[in-house]
Structure 1
Amino acid sequence: MIQAEVSIYPMATRTTSASFYIAKAIESIKNLENLRYEINSMGTVLESDDIDTINQATKNMMTTVHNLGISRVEVIIKIDSRKDKQVRMEEKVESIKKQMS
């Protein structure tokens, strides 16, 4: 199972808000096969069994923002690749919550 957190930062936009660009970037990955995603306030967590799917999703997101007229896009990616067992993103969160008092 591979999980990646992707944060997209459009540079030199006309406003300080990036939500329009991020929404369009996320729309660009909605129909990718073998991809699950979860939006959070600082990025988007992608989940797949295949790194190529993660890479394609990230490329789609970046290209979409460029195609909206943004000439510079910063993309930060953190990848967790686990081969010993399949753990979904929700299970990771639940494991943390169980440890909290």
Structure 2
Amino acid sequence: MIIADVTFYPIGKGVSVGDTIEKVVSRLKNNNSIKCYPNSMATVIECSNIDILMDAIKDAEKFIENMGFPRVETILRIDSRTDVENSVERKMKYVS
């Protein structure tokens, strides 16, 4: 299972991009191949494999570009484990 932390920075259409990020998160949430957990600084994605993750990231970047942003910076961290059930729920048990 893959858990990833992704942050998108749309660049080139002003300072505030909150509306854009809201639309991107909504699009990610509607992707049935992933689970999406937005938070104040990034979005956590849970999915079964790296190909599904990268497809979701590519789709989100293209979506931002199609909204008229000439540049998108994306920061991505990936936690891929096969030795235990790697899920957001399991991880949250240890921190809450």
Question: TM-score, normalising length from structure 2?
Answer: 0.90
1:51 offset after TM fit, Å?
A: 1.0
Deviations 1:14-43 (A, max 9, x none): 2x2211111121222233233101001111
Structure 1 stretches of 4+ moved >2 Å: 27-34
* 1:72 alignment counterpart: 71
Q: Which amino acid is 1:13 matched to?
A: K
Does structure 1 retain, via aligned residues, the 8 Å contact 2:7–2:43? yes
* 2:2 alignment counterpart: 2
Does structure 2 retain, via aligned residues, the 8 Å contact 1:10–1:18? yes
1:63 offset after TM fit, Å?
A: 0.7
Whole-Å separation in 1 of the counterparts to 2:49 and 2:32: 10
| Structure 2: unaligned runs, 5 residues or longer | none
Whole-Å separation in 2 of the counterparts to 1:37 and 1:46: 5
Whole-Å separation in 1 of the counterparts to 2:92 and 2:30: 25
Q: Which amino acid is 1:25 matched to?
A: V
Give the SS at the match of 1:77.
strand
Q: Which amino acid is 1:53 matched to?
A: I
1:87 offset after TM fit, Å?
A: 2.7
Question: Which moves more between the two structures, 30-39 or 48-57?
Answer: 30-39
Question: TM-score, normalising length from structure 1?
Answer: 0.86
